[in-house]
Structure 1
Amino acid sequence: MTEDVQILIARLLAHQTLRREDKLVKRALSDELFRVELDTRLKACGMKFVDNVYADHVTLALTRDSESKVFGTKDTWQNNNFGLARDGVALLVVLWSLIILPKRERQEAHQLAEEDQNDMFGKEKPLPRAEDTSIGISYRALLADFGDKLGKKTRMDMNLGQLVRLGFVEKKADLIVEGPLLDLLMDTDTLKDRIINGALSDIFHIPVARTPATIIANTDQLADSDMPGPTDTEEN
């Protein structure tokens, strides 16, 4: 078992992400003793195994205690640990909101991306995979809706290219789709309420209570705000 744990950690370090269907990943998700040894060895190095039932991949991340010691010397680490500028973080949050939130609704409803009718027995099905429920968004629509707020085309293209290289999204012709890290390294519990009831309330057509608890009142402030970024990881 020790050798298999070692191999899994080495593969995750080498490849950044592995699919949930991978033999050793499935073992980490189902074998309690294997998972305990995996977590123990990772914790000794200041790292943790990151899994999300809504995502098709798993990855590794730093533990919360290690973040400041590793990234504390960088100006941007409190927003993110990928070196993204504020408008890059804002673009990431917008893409997460437009791709991941609708996908999770379809997953929780056990509805595939191509289905347009309700299945009265859908709840009996296993949770659908991300690749079967995730729908991309049009680059041209993204540019039209958010280009002026995210630095116009040149700046948005630069940040989008960086997000593609980091593995958050993939670009297929005009379509921007979910990458392996988009639903793994974002703090959904923190972001979801702030996004739906704050920053993107005009898009989701939900009235916003103008209170001090509202983080961002509208999308005009999105690029200049201190939204939490991918340094906040989500765990099961």
Structure 2
Amino acid sequence: MDNALAILSARLIAHRFIPRSDPLARRALVDEDFRRALEHRLNEVGLTLLENPYAEHMAVGLMGEMEAFVFGEGEAWLSNNMNLPRDAIALLVVLWALIILPKRERQVARAEKEREGQSDMFGAEKPLVQGEEVSVGVPEEALYADYRDKLGGKGRLNINLGQLARLGFIERRNKVILEGPLLDLMLDYSTLAPRVIEGALGEVLKRRAEEAVQPTPD
């Protein structure tokens, strides 16, 4: 077990994320003792395992009690350890709200519907819906049109999109922004979702959804 733990821990730290389909990652998901040993090893160096049943990858992040030591510098407080400027962080939250929030709503609704229809005693152990089957992309031109003035202009948006893509938060394919390996892991859904839904961004997303279903004039 020690060698497998060392390999998985090193890969998570070096690569920042690995797919759940990886043999060692799958072992961490089904072997409770192995999972506990992995979490203990990561905790010893101030890290924690990041995974949820809706994401296709697992990653490592900073333990909450380590934040002050890593992000706090005297009277200053770093917003992140990836050198992301404030407008890039704002863009990251916008993309999370546009991609992950609706994806999660569909996943939860589908999982609940499947559980209601399950009659076998092992049905609850079936995996939840994941991946691009329910994840939708955001056209770059639509993002520019909606948020260009608020997030520094098209040129600045394009620079920040490139940075978020390099870090693994998003993927850019054919002028469409898609979910990257870290988008559903690095941002805490339970904390961020209520703030987005109940805040100003929630109103923007609501208006956008209403406009999307309105019939276009002839």
TM range (shorter): 0.7 to 0.9
Deviations 1:72-97 (A, max 9, x none): 239562x3332211111110010000
Change (3 A) 1:43 1:201: closer
Deviations 1:171-206 (A, max 9, x none): 002100000000001021121111112122333338
Pick 1 or 2: higher relative contact order, CA cutoff 8 A, min separation 6.
1
1: CA distance, partners of 2:134 / 2:140: 19
Contact persistence 2:51–2:58 (CA under 8 A): yes
Change (3 A) 1:62 1:127: same
Q: CA RMSD in A?
A: 2.1
Identity of aligned residues (%): 48
2: CA distance, partners of 1:102 / 1:188: 12
Query: Unaligned stretches of 5+ in structure 1?
Result: 112-118, 207-236
2: CA distance, partners of 1:19 / 1:122: 29
Match of 1:185 in 2: 186
Match of 1:176 in 2: 177
2: CA distance, partners of 1:48 / 1:161: 27
Task: Return the offset for 1:54.
Answer: 1.2
Contact persistence 1:103–1:130 (CA under 8 A): no
2: CA distance, partners of 1:123 / 1:168: 35
Change (3 A) 1:165 1:44: same
| TM-score for the superposition, normalised by structure 1 | 0.77
Match of 1:17 in 2: 17
2: CA distance, partners of 1:110 / 1:198: 26
Equivalent residue pairs, number: 198
Deviations 1:36-63 (A, max 9, x none): 2111111111111111111100011121
Change (3 A) 1:37 1:86: same
Aligned partner of 2:192: which letter?
L
SS at match of 1:110: helix
1: CA distance, partners of 2:8 / 2:102: 32
2: CA distance, partners of 1:191 / 1:157: 24
Query: Unaligned stretches of 5+ in structure 2?
Result: 119-125, 208-218
User: Where does 1:38-187 land on structure 2 (aligned, <5 Å)?
Assistant: 38-73=38-73, 75=76, 77=78, 79-110=79-110, 124=118, 126-187=127-188
Deviations 1:3-29 (A, max 9, x none): 111110111122211111111111111
Change (3 A) 1:172 1:189: same
Question: 68-77 vs 50-59, which deviates more?
Answer: 68-77
Aligned partner of 1:131: which letter?
E
Contact persistence 1:29–1:35 (CA under 8 A): yes
Could you say which structure has the higher helix fraction? 2
Aligned partner of 2:62: which letter?
L
2: CA distance, partners of 1:186 / 1:144: 25
Aligned partner of 1:134: which letter?
S
2: CA distance, partners of 1:76 / 1:98: 28
